[in-house]
Chain A
């Protein structure tokens, strides 16, 4: 029953009794009793009104509620009586519950909340899957799909309700006359993608089937571009915008919440739009993502086996091309969260550890405090208070602490979550991250759980004694505290063990981050400025025009003051995989049909690329100006490719046959040292084509080695480009260090978060240690006084107390290190350049824990040694 209704009923009972009492009084007067007498006469006839009202109220059985209310009042008063303890306990709980709630908010939003699509749990991604395990080690086990494969799957299988496709793209968005150029992130989506997801346009419509063809010129805007560039005017639908100099008709605007697959996307075009038909007929150009919707009545396994059968046929028909044998599914929500799932789970575990430590700490404080109230509790239980009542009272106290901490924690977690999301750039943006009812329910459950955990142990221990033991111990304040001290030490041991696990995990993550940060990618990274541009096909229609622009730009940049060297290529080291080509070696015996084909990442490079970036030549030569379109192709390979595919021979003069480039043969003219395509990933074989050979890649990266701060040159370089072509947008003006930092993703964030949690636990544990030992010192004052009176030296007393305090620290350390071995397995896949059992990390964790523990113990131990024996014995 609600309290206000209770209040109303209370008032009602009072009023009823009052009015009847008055009536009695009046009747007494009417009978002739004097007014002064009548009141007492009425009361005599009536009985005790307070008792009656109490008994009447009891009918409505509010008594349990009254009891609870009273207990709460007492609890609040007790907490206010020792504000220092209460503030610390509430703060600890607020921190722990806040951190846990924040982490859970992210986990819930990213991993648990259904995607905002129709029946989202029936959506799966389908990837091509190579059966050869050596391919899987190169991460080809979840390979992007070739367009022809996708078309065949969709046409020839019926297990799925539908399959849709999308691909990555970029456009140069300009005004009608080429003004205001802007590079926009784009996706090409098949016409059925939006209906399949269950998404409708906010304004206008989505694509039609007839628009999804190479000549299609329809475009949809995402809400962010619609608002920013077109002022949110719905009249844009039906009008034209210019992408790469070509007019496209806006057919619709996507809803504001739609950020799949990425919030950076600005425009969508139909999947086939702008794609050369011969590429759409390819089985080995892997650039398509396929989303499929399961039929409600067909299992994933059986629908997938149909696709698998089609794919295996494709494989058999294309034995000399890298066409996968099979397919593999991935639920859409997992596909979006793939990079963050493990860090999230690890952080959630870390935060759960902190929560556990916080609870143990508050439990520890409560045990200490119940010691001070032991007399009260003993007397009450001797007088017949039920144990359950005493436990309930103490539980209500810890519930109050947890609830106050929980409220503060949820408030803290709102801003903590915002901060986390702003820092954590890897989080998928298709789901928005916010606290919902589930998160609130989770926080409430946390409050209850922490209250039970923190309150139950002290409550049970302080009420566990029988009446006889109570009376015995009441006269002696030393006895009876042993079991409680043991309990506190056990709590501390668990606390320290958990802290050790956290410290160890943080140490491993930090060490890997440091290793990542100091990785040598294989080229010069200091004082290098990079920027990207992409020459539009319309304007730069021939290889000559492309080469003319690139060469003029390089010439101009190289003559700029402050520029030491310049390189032009498709990708710089550390900036990602770029693309890969499968090849064969004509000089070698043909590989067995169906066997895994040799494959390497490819880059394009200008003649000065290697020397500018400081990539050493191993043998042969670099490109020269003559390695350009019209001449027979040349290629430079990395040392790894040479070792892997030409183990016992000189690769120079041999050829690489690349089927995907119109069956061209490239002569190997040089071998260069390996570079990393991405920090933290093992090196892969690489091959470099000459940038001048007239092939189709137009997205290029210009890198400049500068004498001083590279960013100061960025404006003048962009001016040079604008000078050559004012409509050409430049993107990603970054230093090489920035690129590497970005490619590390959130390794530093997760490492420093875990470290933060570990430090927090260390502080909590040392406060606990300090508290226990101080308590112990007070408990043993008399004993120490006797020892010193009998001639014990101060140093011995310090040793005695230190030993007492450090024992739980040692046990905890041993226990924690053992548990760390298990925890290290969980984070193993996130480690780089360090094993899960790194001895240096082990040693530094042990050293720092023991240092902090000794410092926490030293103060109370020293205080114990200062005890004046006379004083101590007198107070005994």
Chain B
């Protein structure tokens, strides 16, 4: 029932654990609903990161459960009906900083392993 199935994709999949960070970062611009967030990530990466809705919504709810975002049904300005908007909380903002610095360390570490020459020069 709760088993996660993923189809194999040619395009880039969001790395495990980075989705939360991406969502939080997206919400830094202001409140957005799930569809917007997904679309935004997709567009910004030039469609490289294909959003899996099966990961996006559980991630959003996980963030809400941890108190990093809050949600509210609000009318979208252009559609004239209600969507569930997510909003970054103060804790979420702090968490974003934490995740960002962790990601940086991670990326640097990976880079050192992958391109040692570049590091030496």
Hey, which bits of chain A sit against chain B, CB under 8 A? 12-13, 15-17, 19-20, 23-24, 26, 46-48, 51-56, 58-60, 63, 66
Contacts and interface: CB of A to CB of B under 8 A. Distances in A.
B35 A56 contact: no
A66 B52 CA distance: 25
B57 A17 contact: yes
A708 B42 CA distance: 109
Given A20-B35, A23-B79, A52 B61 contact: no
Nearest to B82: A19
A59 B61 contact: yes
Nearest to A51: B54
A16 to B, nearest CB: 4
Contact of B53 (A46, A58, A60, A63): A46
A60 B4 CA distance: 15
Given A47-B53, A59-B65, A24 B2 contact: no
In the complex, the 4 A-B pairs of residues with the closest C-beta atoms, listed nearest first: A59-B61, A20-B35, A56-B57, A16-B84
Nearest to A49: B53
Interface of B: 1-2, 4-5, 33-35, 52-54, 57-58, 60-62, 65, 79, 81-84
B61 A63 contact: no
Nearest to A24: B35
5 contacts: A16-B57, A51-B5, A51-B54, A55-B4, A56-B58
A24 B79 CA distance: 12
A54 B5 CA distance: 12
A56 B61 contact: yes
Contacts of A59: 58, 61-62, 65
Nearest to A26: B79
B61 to A, nearest CB: 4
B34 A52 contact: no
Given A19-B83, A60-B65, A63-B1, A55 B58 contact: yes
Contacts of B82: 19
Contacts of A60: 61, 65
B57 A19 contact: no
Contacts, number: 59
Given A19-B33, A58-B1, 17 more contacts: A12-B84, A13-B57, A16-B33, A16-B34, A19-B83, A23-B35, A23-B79, A47-B52, A47-B53, A47-B54, A51-B5, A52-B54, A54-B2, A56-B57, A56-B60, A56-B61, A63-B2
SS class, residues of chain A in contact with chain B: helix
A59 B69 CA distance: 15
B88 to A, nearest CB: 18
Contacts of B54: 47-48, 51-52, 55
Nearest to B64: A59
Which among B1, B33, B34, B57 has the greatest number of chain A C-beta atoms within 10 A?
Answer: B57
Contacts of B57: 13, 16-17, 52-53, 55-56
B53 A19 contact: no
A47 B57 CA distance: 12
A161 to B, nearest CB: 55
B81 A19 contact: yes
A63 B3 CA distance: 12
Contacts of B52: 47
Contacts of A51: 5, 54
Contact of B34 (A20, A54, A55): A20
B38 to A, nearest CB: 8
B49 to A, nearest CB: 14
A55 B84 contact: no
B83 A20 contact: yes
A52 B53 contact: yes
Contact of B2 (A16, A20, A58): A58
A51 B2 CA distance: 9
Nearest to A17: B57
Contacts of A13: 57, 61
Contacts of A66: 1
Nearest to A59: B61
Contacts of A23: 35, 79, 83
Given A17-B57, A23-B35, A60-B61, A54 B84 contact: no
A777 B37 CA distance: 69
Contacts of B4: 55
Nearest to A55: B58
Contacts of B62: 59
Most chain A CB neighbours (cut-off 10 Å) among B5, B53, B61, B82: B53
Contacts of B34: 16, 20
A24 B35 CA distance: 8
Nearest to A58: B2
B8 to A, nearest CB: 14
A527 B74 CA distance: 93
A135 B65 CA distance: 77
A368 to B, nearest CB: 33
B74 to A, nearest CB: 11
A205 B34 CA distance: 74
Nearest to B35: A20
B54 to A, nearest CB: 5
Contacts of B53: 46-47, 52
B58 A58 contact: yes
A15 to B, nearest CB: 8
Contacts of B83: 16, 19-20, 23
Contacts of A15: 84
Contacts of A52: 53-54, 57-58
Contacts of B5: 51
Contacts of B65: 59-60
Contacts of A12: 84
A20 B51 CA distance: 14
Nearest to B4: A55
Nearest to A16: B84
Contacts of A47: 52-54
A125 B82 CA distance: 75
A15 B72 CA distance: 12
A51 B4 CA distance: 9
* Max count, chain B CB within 10 A of own CB: residue among A15, A17, A59: A59
Nearest to B55: A55
Nearest to A19: B83
Nearest to B57: A56
A5 to B, nearest CB: 13
A17 to B, nearest CB: 7
A142 to B, nearest CB: 66
